[in-house]
Amino acid sequence: MSLVGSTAAILPKRPVLTVGITTGGFWEQVNAIMALARERHSAYVCCVNAHMVVEATRPDFNAVVNNADFATPDGMPVLHALNRFHGLHQERVAGNDLMPALLARASEDAVEVYLYGGAEKTLARIKERAALESPELVISGAHSPPYIRFEQMDFETEAARINASGAGLILVSLGCPKQERFMAAMKGKVNAVMVGLGGAFLLYAGVDKRAPKWMRDLSLEWLFRLVLEPGRLWRRYLVTNSRFIGLYLRARISGKYDQTGLRSSN
């Protein structure tokens, strides 16, 4: 991971199947992300769950995730694999927890925030909650882009709009893998840290509910979401979970945990 010109600490990654996962405690990762945001350093953060690990079996998307400056252990299956493979006691760094933590820290550090993605109503609710919890926070821009294919996006126009806002932290919600591909394409174009948060927007806005802690601890958050949205999620979870388990079992049997293509320096 190259952070040329930055004073922020570089946190190490460890391979978990197809993805190199950033290690370090929750607040250590928050602090490192915000150090880059204060500098308005162009960087991006992927919050990695089982779905992203499976998507990263495709070489093009593998490069997107493994070129991220941070790849946090978001999903419990990913976290368990990381700790089992490498004998760690890593804690979870989930997007649902990162969003409020980053907003609070941005308020404390006087870093302006830009919201990119989600519906207009969702963005309005995020602003309302943030104003109550962090009155000093400046949300200098918010944009709900039309639903178009990634290839149709105008990155130069989007970068100009974001840079004009003066934001040092961009929270992105376009869904995986589009939001990760968007952030990778925007790196070097925007003067800010981008964090891919997906459904964390809906949770923070009060549109979605989060699974109770006991289900999250047992890696059953997917089941909670499936019950809420069976029509949309059943196929994704059936395929994704099965493929993740297959990747995990093959790695355990072979003892080869690294399919990332990362250099040994990571």
What's the whole-model pTM score? Answer: 0.88
Contact 190, 163 (CB under 8 A): yes
How many residues are present in the chain?
Answer: 266
The answer to whether residue 209 sits within a structural domain is no
Structural domain contains residue 169: yes
Distance CA 143, CA 163 (A): 13
Residue closest to 184 by CA, chosen among 213, 155, 208, 160: 155
* Partners of residue 13 on adjacent β-strands: 22
| Predicted local confidence at residue 9, as pLDDT | 58
Task: Give a yes or no: residue 219 inside a domain.
Answer: no
pLDDT of res. 261: 65
Minimal CA–CA distance to 159: which of 12, 44, 265, 50?
44
- Give the chain's domain count: 1
Q: Which domain holds residue 188?
A: 13-204
Flag whether 54 is in a domain. Answer: yes
Provide the pLDDT for residue 214: 73
**Which mean pLDDT values do the consecutive 10-residue runs of the chain (266 residues) have?**
52 95 97 96 96 94 96 95 96 96 97 96 96 95 91 92 96 95 97 95 83 70 67 72 91 87 42
Determine the Cα–Cα distance for residues 208 and 198; give it in Å rounded to an integer.
12
Residue 242 lies in a domain: no
Structure tokens at 109: 């550090």
Structural domain includes residue 142: yes
Distance CA 176, CA 236 (A): 12
pLDDT of 262: 38
Q: What's the confidence (pLDDT) of residue 265?
A: 35
| Residue 79 within any structural domain of the chain | yes
93 domain-assigned = yes
- Say what the pLDDT of residue 3 is: 54
Q: Measuring CA to CA, how many Å separate 52 from each of 102, 175, 190, 243?
A: 22, 11, 24, 11
